[in-house]
Chain A
């Protein structure tokens, strides 16, 4: 029972306390670039969850055989192999593959994955590493989905997934800037300010100097 609770703890911490995007501030590039459409984010989230979980499992399994001096190249090769799998798999969905473009190979250098490999999986037990990968991956995907829903809904007035309109506001007079480049920065700034507001409200004792 105790063990299960800690596993659950490993899983759940990726959402809030160590959320990769909002708290650790890693993996920003891909999240800002592809959050223009909800559809992109679903595929990108799945790809990151897959790569993160699999590489965490493998690295946790071989952690006792890796010489310390060359651990980073070994991590990168493990990650790169899984990214290649994703790359070749996504080619079967040409429309999405074209839109995600260079972001698929760039999962290799997505700081989240290497950071988890180096900082967590290389010193954790198999099950813990797996749950950590799933949790962090889902935390990333959640923020990605929230951001993309916000941007697509208020930028274009409707959300379209696989050519089917899911939600429509019934108007096309929307601030288009949200789906353009500056919109990504503005959306993230708002989210990050919201988080700061939330954190400062929870500990009212702290005063800025």
Chain B
């Protein structure tokens, strides 16, 4: 029970309390890039959840079974992780194209974009160098399952905010906005209010 509660806290902390988009400002480029319509943000969300969990799993294995035993982790983790992510994305793209054309049509165009989605690299890095965990009140011991749960939380938090925000932007398009604030500036103002709302989660469950 205690163990399950800890995993829940990890998930909740990563997805809501320290939301990757609104509280930590990671991965803002896709956030403003694809949040124009609800449909594209749904496609992006599914792809991100899928790729992020796989990328962290592989990066964790690479760190614990290759880089760390050889003692080169400090010097090679950046190139290794980014190569893992890039090749993984390519691989996933090919597999999906072969096995499921409808799914490929839904998330195909977002997959190359994910390579440069900072959230993927951030989650992979933090699964082995948990600077962020020290800010939340969670005991963390670099386990495989913990890394995966944490990454899942980050990805779900990303998707949640992306989908809500794209619905908001579809509504804003119809609103009478002051002339110079049309387009990008009003989107940022909306994001500011959204972020203010998420700050209300700080401290929940003692996180």
Contacts and interface: CB of A to CB of B under 8 A. Distances in A.
A33 B29 CA distance: 13
Interface stretch (A11-19, A101-109, A155-163, A165-173): A101-109
B185 A106 contact: no
Interface stretch (B45-53, B62-70, B99-107, B116-124): B116-124
A182 B199 contact: yes
Interface residues of A, number: 46
A185 B189 contact: yes
Name the residue in B78, B120, B181 with the highest tally of chain A Cβ atoms < 10 Å from its Cβ: B78
B28 A29 contact: yes
Contacts of A185: 188-189, 191-192, 195
A177 B26 CA distance: 19
A208 B115 CA distance: 36
A122 to B, nearest CB: 16
Interface string A179-209: 0111111101110111011001000000010
Given A181-B22, A189-B188, A83 B78 contact: yes
Contact of A193 (B27, B28, B122, B180): B180
B116 A29 contact: no
Interface string B179-196: 111111111110111011
A127 interface: no
A29 B29 contact: yes
Contact of A102 (B116, B125, B179, B188): B125
B186 A189 contact: yes
Contacts of B76: 84
A7 interface: no
A106 B26 contact: yes
A181 B199 contact: yes
A143 interface: no
Contact of B188 (A109, A180, A186): A186
A124 interface: no
Nearest to B123: A102
List 3 tightest A-B contacts by C-beta distance, closest first.
A189-B188, A185-B192, A33-B25
Given A101-B131, A184-B25, A193-B181, 11 more contacts: A30-B25, A33-B24, A76-B83, A77-B82, A84-B79, A98-B131, A105-B81, A181-B195, A185-B191, A196-B182, A208-B182
